[in-house]
């Protein structure tokens, strides 16, 4: 019992790191998502293909492989990163690919009549996007982006495997020192992740209903 209590501060610090990584990745992912998603919604097919290829690659490669490549593989090619940077970069790229699909999907779902009406008023392409389409698309993007944050938090646990001291890694370190605390420690970790992700998941579902 006492070794469990001793482990708690480390777990709390680990949780803080998990949050930091998740938030940093989310911000980057939303940024990438907006830029790429908006771009893809207006690019002609030929120019869109490379972007499509990149996104399919990022969605098809397991996150763990991507993370290991960025942390262990890149130094071989001359690019050195810290494990924190590699973890955030991998998460941001993966979630960014998903985010771009969310953005593009929302933009494309706005009825063409909106674009036609705006064009009939004389607005140019970028203005139509900026003033008419994207403001409406924003509402539709909200629930899936909230769900994406939960996915990022969940996926951030992989960072432990490249030695980032997040919640899972803090747990692993404590259990390594004293295998007897495995049960309470891992249970606590599960509950902590649940405590974060369940409300986020519920929020996403509520938003979906409200904005339907």
Partner 1 sequence: MNFGIVRDAVPQLAQGFALTLEITVFGVAGALAVGTLGAAMRISQAAAARAAATAFTEFFRNTPPLVQIYFLAFALPKLPGIGPHLVLPAVVAATLGLVLHQGAINIEILRAGLQAVPEGQREAAAALGLSRNDQLRYVLIPQAARISLPALGNNVISLFKNTTLVSSIGVLDLFGEANDIIAQILVSAELFLTVGVVYVVCVALLGALFRTLEKRLALA
- Which of 43, 54, 123, 154 touches partner 1 (CB under 8 A)? 154
- Which of 9, 50, 111, 180 touches partner 1 (CB under 8 A)? 180
Distance CA 8, CA 21 (A): 20
Distance CA 61, CA 106 (A): 24
Q: Are 165 and 13 in contact (CB under 8 A)?
A: yes
Please give the angle made by the CA atoms of 91, 70 and 165, to the nearest 5 degrees: 60
Interface with partner 1 by CB under 8 A: which range of 6-14, 31-39, 112-120, 160-168? 160-168
Distance CA 101, CA 54 (A): 12
Q: Are 168 and 153 in contact (CB under 8 A)?
A: no
136 binds partner 1 (CB under 8 A): no
CB 50 → partner 1: shortest distance, Å? 15
Site for partner 1, rule CB under 8 A: 56-57, 59-66, 68-69, 72-74, 76-77, 150, 154-155, 157-158, 160-161, 168, 171-172, 175, 179-180, 182-183, 185-187, 189-190, 193-194, 197-198, 201
């Amino acid at each position: 019992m006492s070794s469990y209590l001793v482990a708690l501060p480390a777990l709390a610090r680990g949780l803080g790191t998990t949050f930091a990584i998740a938030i940093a990745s989310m911000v980057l992912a939303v940024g990438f998502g907006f830029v790429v998603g908006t771009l893809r919604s207006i690019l002609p097919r030929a120019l869109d293909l490379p972007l499509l290829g990149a996104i399919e690659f990022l969605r098809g490669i397991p996150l763990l492989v991507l993370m290991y490549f960025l942390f262990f593989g890149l130094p071989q090619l001359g690019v050195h990163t810290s494990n924190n940077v590699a973890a955030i970069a991998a998460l941001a790229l993966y979630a960014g690919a998903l985010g771009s699909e969310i953005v593009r999907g929302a933009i494309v779902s706005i009825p063409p009549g909106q674009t036609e009406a705006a064009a009939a008023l004389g607005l140019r392409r970028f203005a139509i996007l900026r003033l008419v389409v994207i403001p409406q698309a924003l509402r539709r993007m909200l629930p899936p982006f909230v769900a994406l944050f939960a996915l990022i938090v969940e996926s951030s646990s992989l960072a432990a495997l490249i030695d980032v001291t997040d919640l899972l890694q803090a747990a692993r370190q404590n259990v390594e020192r004293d295998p007897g605390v495995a049960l309470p420690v891992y249970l606590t970790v599960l509950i902590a992740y649940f405590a974060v992700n369940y409300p986020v998941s519920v929020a996403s579902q509520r938003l979906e209903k409200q904005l339907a």
